[in-house]
């Protein structure tokens, strides 16, 4: 994860200081990846089994991957539609945030689905997207969150529940024996259970690439906008949005009135951790097109100044369904991820499903 600066710098900050602890020789459950999924899994495992030793191993810092690079739009269900395991995942995540008193600007006024359709008439948004009318078609359950504050809060909740977190502790390889083992730099750790919550990382080892593809999704942020401009552009209600048709576009406002928006996926030859991915791909051109597109949506947005550009790793699965399964080489190794762009609330729910799969 040391190469992520090449992806640009998001506006979100993770205010979390991880206490240093000695590495254990053995534990009940070892989780690889300190994003939403891994931290939620550690939290729920310790709540289910208070006597277990549970630790999270992170190659970089907490939330260094997709969790700090998401746009922070909250959506219910999955990209494939409602699935029983993820029913009410938005409410589930909200209950955890409230229970643990996580201050993360959690706000769920709904989310606008917008479409390129002039026949819808007058709606809260009256935009032109590259010459085509863009209107609100419906409001679905959803909202926004500060991704950095949320991942920091989940890390603190996992620690309070009794889990350990080891930052800058990359796993070099896995031994799928009985029991399985993690090989770190200068250390080998035996675990009854191992969870691969690495999503777009470690894809060959996790085998998640057999069910999808790891890509970089692009995002940018504007300088703070004046309230008058927000009202004129139809954004005064502060409701996030995403297109239900193509070309794709999503966006939301921050507490500082920055517009955060994104569109476009970039293939990552050599893997998402390729240090030159933004320079060696079509990303610069796509960022320029996205800026022009946003500025052209409404006259009130024409003067916007863009201050941040960044990319984040995601996995789009072949069937748009999230992945939770046992590894082909060991029934004691679980693989989780593949949220296809719906990962914030869904990944928190996934952590509880992981705990249920192990303890049940």
Identify which has the larger pLDDT, 267 or 269: 267
Domain count, the chain: 1
Is residue 4 predicted with pLDDT exceeding 80? no
Measure Cα distances from 87 to 44, 107, 191, 242, 341 in Å. Answer: 18, 19, 31, 21, 17
Q: What is the mean pLDDT of residues 213-241?
A: 96
Helix (H) or strand (E) holding 130: none
- Tell me the pLDDT of the chain averaged across its residues: 93
47: containing domain = 2-359
Query: How far is the C-alpha of 83 from the C-alpha of 349, rounded, in Å?
Result: 12
Q: Which residue has the higher pLDDT, 251 or 199?
A: 251
- Residue 340: strand, helix, or coil: coil
* DSSP symbols for 284-311: HHHHHHHHHHHHTS-GGGTT--EEEEEE
> Quick one: angle between helices 36-48 and 147-160, nearest 10?
30
Q: Left if phi > 0, otherwise alpha if psi is -120 to 50, otherwise beta: which for 160?
A: alpha
For residue range 139-159, list pLDDT tens digits in order.
Answer: 999 999 999 999 999 999 999
32: tokens are: 């690889």
pLDDT > 90: percent of the chain: 83
How big is the CA angle at 318 (ends 278 and 210), to the nearest 5 degrees?
80
CATH number of the domain that 61 lies in? Answer: 3.50.50.60
Structural contact between residues 243 and 135, judged by C-beta atoms closer than 8 angstroms: no
């Amino acid at each position: 994860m040391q190469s992520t600066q090449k992806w640009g710098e998001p506006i979100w900050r993770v205010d979390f200081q991880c206490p240093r602890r000695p590495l254990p020789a053995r534990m009940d459950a070892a989780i690889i990846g300190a994003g939403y999924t891994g931290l939620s899994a550690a939290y729920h495992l310790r709540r289910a089994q208070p006597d277990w030793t549970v630790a999270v191993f992170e190659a970089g810092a907490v939330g260094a991957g997709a969790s700090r690079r998401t746009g922070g739009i909250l959506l219910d269900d999955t990209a494939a539609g409602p699935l029983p395991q993820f029913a009410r995942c938005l409410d589930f995540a909200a209950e955890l945030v409230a229970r643990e008193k996580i201050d993360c600007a959690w706000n769920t006024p709904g989310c606008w689905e917008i479409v390129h359709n002039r026949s819808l008439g007058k709606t809260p948004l009256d935009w032109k997207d590259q010459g085509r009318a863009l209107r609100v078609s419906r409001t679905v359950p959803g909202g926004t969150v500060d991704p950095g504050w949320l991942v920091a809060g989940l890390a603190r909740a996992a620690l309070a529940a009794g889990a350990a977190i080891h930052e800058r502790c990359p796993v070099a390889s896995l031994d799928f024996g009985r029991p399985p083992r993690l090989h770190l730099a200068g250390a080998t750790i035996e675990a009854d259970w191992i969870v691969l919550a690495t999503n777009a990382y470690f894809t060959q080892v996790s085998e998640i690439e057999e069910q999808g593809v790891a890509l970089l999704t692009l995002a940018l942020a504007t300088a703070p906008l004046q309230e008058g401009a927000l009202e004129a552009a139809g954004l005064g209600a502060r409701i996030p949005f995403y297109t239900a048709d193509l070309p794709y576009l999503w966006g939301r406002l921050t507490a500082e009135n920055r517009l955060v928006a994104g569109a476009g996926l970039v293939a990552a030859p050599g893997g998402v951790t390729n240090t030159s991915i933004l320079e060696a791909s079509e990303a610069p051109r796509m960022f320029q097109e996205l800026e022009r597109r946003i500025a052209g949506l409404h006259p009130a947005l024409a003067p916007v100044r863009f201050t941040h550009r960044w990319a984040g790793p995601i996995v789009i699965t072949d069937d748009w369904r999230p992945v939770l399964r046992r590894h082909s080489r060991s029934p004691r190794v679980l693989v989780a991820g593949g949220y296809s762009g719906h990962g914030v609330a869904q990944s928190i729910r996934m952590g509880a499903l992981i705990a249920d799969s192990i303890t049940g």
